Amino acid sequence: SVMVLAGCGEKAATPSAASAPGAAKPLTKVILQTDWYAQPEHGGFYQAVVKGYYREVGLDVEIAQGGPNSMPVQKVVLGQAQFGIGRSDEIIVGAGRGIPAVMVGALMQRDPQAIMFHEEAGIRDFKDLDGRSIMAVPGSNWVTLMEKKYGIKVSITPLDFGLSRYLADKKFVQQCFITNEPFYVKRQGAKPATLLLSDTGFSPYRVWYASRSYIDKNPDVVRAFNAASIRGWNDYITGDRTEADALIGKLNKQMVPEFITYSVDAMKQYKLVGGDSAKGEMVGRLDPARVATEIKQLADIGVLGRPVTITEVLDDKFLPAEVRVTAGGK
């Protein structure tokens, strides 16, 4: 069954809950389905829970931990969850297959996915991958786009989520989360080097989304969720993470403090969450132009079952005004 977080949320919320006894209207219950077990990459949401940001805007948010088959998109569409998180290209491809999920906010401006190899492997750029074997998720869009862009050919080994083959083979190249695998291999004395996938020019967002019908019926909830989540994320990256990290560590015993620190540092170092402010990126923002480019890129490699329009997959009007591209202006 789904992890219930409400209890923790309540307890954690007490310090800042000045409004507790006299809360005017009952909280709206919302489930956020994540794509993996609790980890720093979900930190902003946990921050919003423990700091009571959701409660302040009238939401009772339950974070349902994911796992290998958590299928947030499916659950959101079936109404088993109200919000889910994932990559923007998943939503676009899904729309092409008739899946009515709509992105409403971005938790990361840049995808933490990267390729990892050994410094000794002699790879400087994506071009150097030509003819190599990469361990990656089969069917990944970035592979096709990368091959197309750099005119290279690679062979793909299915990702097994392990690292031993990387360690055993100095020529090994594998897909990773930049916030994640390098930590473990460094501990084993390897010298990992990485290239962020977004540097190929195909740069999906990490987003949260809801189903079309839910958005239409509950615009206020979406608006409130967006605001509180963005607040949580800003706070998680720049503020005091202690409580959120403690919760993450409690929910997922594998998340030891050193690891969380490493992950958050990586998120900061690579500007994953807030992006590059020079390019007009900021926490939560979804730029329709960038999404349009992404749709075109995906259409070009033929993974979209049918043409996809931007309005099908993106609804940014519930973002706070300062975050919206159109309202906030560049």
Q: Give the binding site for another protein (CB under 8 A).
A: 1-3, 37-38, 65, 67-71, 73-75, 77-78, 80, 90, 93-94, 97-99, 133, 137-140, 143-144, 153, 155-158, 160-165, 167-168, 181, 184-185, 187-188, 249-254, 303
The one-letter amino acid at 239: G
Output the smallest distance, CB 208 to another protein, in A. Answer: 18
Output the smallest distance, CB 156 to another protein, in A. Answer: 5
Locate 94 and state its tokens.
Answer: 């899904």
Q: How far is Cα 324 from Cα 326, in angstroms, rounded to an integer?
A: 6
C-beta of 65 vs 203, nearer to another protein: 65
Cβ-count burial of 261 within 10 angstroms (0-12 exposed, 13-18 middle, 19+ buried)? middle
C-beta of 16 vs 80, nearer to another protein: 80
Output the smallest distance, CB 248 to another protein, in A. Answer: 9
Which helix (H) or strand (E) is 167 found in, with range? Answer: helix 164-168
Backbone φ, ψ for residue 139 (5° rounding): 80, 10
Output the smallest distance, CB 27 to another protein, in A. Answer: 23
Output the smallest distance, CB 56 to another protein, in A. Answer: 27
Give all strands (DSSP E) within 126-232, no chain letters: 133-136, 155-158, 173-177, 192-196, 206-211
C-beta of 168 vs 278, nearer to another protein: 168
C-beta of 213 vs 277, nearer to another protein: 213
C-beta of 157 vs 194, nearer to another protein: 157
Write the DSSP assignment of 81-93 as a string of letters: -SEEEEEHHHHHH
